[in-house]
Amino acid sequence: MAIATMTTPLPISFFPFLLLIPAICFTICHANSNLLCIQSEREALLNFKNHLIDPSNRLSSWVEGGDCCKWIGVVCHNLTGHVHQLHLATPLSPYEQSALGGKIHPSLLELDHLSTLDLSNNNFSSIHIPKFFGLLESLTYLNLSRAQFQGAIPHNLGNLSKLQYLDLRGNDLKSESLQWVSGLSSLQYLDLSYANLSKATDWLQVTFKHPSLLELHLSDCILEDDPYLICVNSSKSLVVLDLSWNSLSSVPKSIFSLHGLVSIDLRFNSLDGPIPDYFGNISFLEVLDLHQNSLNSSIPNSLYSLNHIRFLHLSSNKIEQDISEILQSLSRCCLGSLESLNMADNQLSGHLPYQLG
């Protein structure tokens, strides 16, 4: 027997503003036609362009003698004229025809005031993330997602003490340690999804202790249990945690000391045994996704104390319980907040109450 909602809400993210601010600034700053770019920065950009492969001629406005503050993808500071942002992400459609490739030239280091660099959705296949990126000390936003980079993540990215947003997801990357993340003292958003972190045994200690990190995505990173790790003195800042599509057989106990968490995604792991009682300690939790594991027994009473829960996804487990008992318990605690409940593909029994209709 199964019960499931027909709609699934999008995962919570507290960083739409970090995605929107560069775009807003691009529109506002780019509109200032009175600026003339600085000659040394124009030359640096042209040098950078000359090492790129641009199959659709996206950078046709980047020409000798032109005002680089008017070039596509370039944002200059509206007071100083310094190049402030580079927005060179490829639109997702049509991807293949317009993706940039080639080499990333270190002439970018001439852009001393560069705070935003977005090279996402491009095709830098067969090259590593340039080590000199760790010298772009003014960066606050770096997005290299789905850009076909490969190899080891350069540890000197940890020198970017002003960086607030780092997205490396969807590349063919690896790292044997995440200690470099500790140097990113201003970091609030980190996405390393699809990177091979199987040898980075310090992933939990580093990320859970980070004092400013709000959102952490480590989906499909080949993470496994650490049998020697009991608990970590965790930071209180983290609100969104995504550890989906890994090989965890138990929920890391340190999660239960992250009392500010609002969203936990542990779907598609190898979790077995009963659902831990300690989830009830995370009182502000709104999203809990444990889909596609091997959790058994019944839902612990502690979950019914989550008064803010909006999305509870427990499908494709081995939960054995009477469905009417589950619904009755939910009706006493959180029906006012609950938007989506998915219990499909479990070992439920009983009958749905007629009031449900």
pLDDT in tens, 183-221: 999 999 999 999 999 999 999 999 999 999 999 999 999
Q: Is the pLDDT of residue 31 over 50?
A: no
Burial group, residue 128, by CB count within 10 angstroms (0-12, 13-18, 19+): middle
Residue 307 lies in a domain: yes
For residue 152, is it within any domain? no
- Whether 170 maps to a domain, the answer reads no
Position 29 pLDDT exceeds 50: no
pLDDT given for residue 28 in this prediction: 41
| Residue reference for tokens 């459609």 | 93
Lowest model confidence (mean pLDDT) among 8-22, 63-77, 116-130 = 8-22
Q: Average pLDDT, whole number, for the chain?
A: 90
- What is the amino acid identity at position 131? K
145 lies in some domain: no
Q: Does the pLDDT of residue 88 top 80, yes or no?
A: yes
Final residue of a domain: which of 96, 123, 150? 123
What span, in angstroms and rounded, lies between the C-alpha atoms of 207 and 210?
5
Q: Examine the fold and report which residue of 106, 123, 140 is the final residue of a domain before the chain moves on.
A: 123
| pLDDT at residue 228, rounded to an integer | 67
Band (231; pLDDT cuts 50, 70, 90): low
In a domain, 337, yes or no: yes
Q: Which domain range does residue 249 map to?
A: 226-357
> The domain spanning residue 347 has which CATH number?
3.80.10.10
On whether both 239 and 117 belong to a single domain, the answer is no
* Count of structural domains within the chain: 2
Per-residue pLDDT for 7 more than 80?
no
Domain-ending residue, one of 123, 140, 168:
123
Query: Do the domain assignments include residue 192?
Result: no
Task: Examine the domain organization and report whether 232 and 357 are in the same domain.
Answer: yes
| pLDDT at residue 9, as a whole number | 45
Is residue 128 a part of any domain in this protein?
Answer: no
Q: How far is Cα 3 from Cα 23, in angstroms, rounded to an integer?
A: 41
Report yes or no on 216 lying in a domain.
Answer: no
Domain identity same for 108 and 234: no
